[in-house]
Amino acid sequence: MTAPLIGITTWQRDIPTHLGAGRPTHTVGVEYVDLVQRAGGIPVLLVPDTNVDRILGRLDALVMTGGQDVHPSRYGAQADPEQEYSEARDEFEFALALAARERRLPTLAICRGLQVANVAFGGTLIEDIEPTAWHERVVSTAEQLDRRHPVTLDATSALAAAYGVTEREINTIHHQSVGMPARGLRVTGIAPDGVVEAVESTDPEWQFWGVQWHPEKMQTKDEVAIEDRMLAAFVRTLTTGA
């Protein structure tokens, strides 16, 4: 059986060189690549291109990754002068999301990826989640990576079936979330404070899973095992159609 080609979106950033100056570089965390490879997929790193049909026509699935905020003008809000946005990335990924839906290309959208898709399909975002016991403001990256909170998955959802559970602990590496879900998406995961943590397509012919957490950054042995279970289920549908 041929391993599926799975596109992974990248993030253009200036990376310091040995000369000290920043060099524009397309990057993606190796954790995304590892996640796809462990599930039996072949990762294909995607950079902005105007011909999204040419790209998606060669892929079996799409992973839309995390990163910086979507520009608020895309959902009728005001830009934050302290945030860095990438209109080029927004343009490319909005086109990818819409084309993937049109093609019914299986898509896993992670954090920003979920937010991009929701806005592209007509939904809105909460620009800054109100701090709660489950979504506290943290400064330290290490603290942010270690923090966990509960999520409840809809028992009828594909995600619950993939994980094999309806209650679990997830990470919180985001300050935004779905406001109004887009038409065609249903909320399938929610935190105790009401923050939307997962959505899925209502179209039975389109496999779209969106998660607000970062499965690739769940790194304890037990966490890796359960996230690998989800990715394996996602990839299995590509090869079996189930």
Assign 141 a pLDDT band (cuts: 50, 70, 90).
Answer: low
Assign 76 a pLDDT band (cuts: 50, 70, 90).
Answer: confident
CATH T-level fold of 5-240: Rossmann fold (3.40.50)
| Residue type, position 72, single letter | P
Q: Which helix (H) or strand (E) segment is 55 a member of? A: helix 52-56
Residue 147 has pLDDT above 80, yes or no: yes
Assign 242 a pLDDT band (cuts: 50, 70, 90).
Answer: low
**So where are the chain's domains?**
5-240
Q: Tell the burial category of 237 from Cβ atoms under 10 Å away from its Cβ (0-12, 13-18, 19+).
A: middle
Q: Going along the chain, which residue ranges are E strands?
A: 5-9, 11-16, 22-27, 42-46, 61-64, 107-110, 125-126, 148-153, 167-171, 177-178, 185-190, 196-201, 208-211
Specify the pLDDT at position 136. 67
Which of 34-48, 79-93, 126-140, 196-210 comes out lowest in average pLDDT?
Answer: 126-140
Token pair, residue 215, equals: 């499965």
Which of 13-27, 129-143, 172-186 comes out lowest in average pLDDT?
Answer: 129-143
Mean pLDDT to the nearest integer, 7-29:
80
**Predicted structure pTM score:** 0.92
Residue 226 has pLDDT above 80, yes or no: yes
Q: Going along 51-141, which residue ranges are E strands?
A: 61-64, 107-110, 125-126
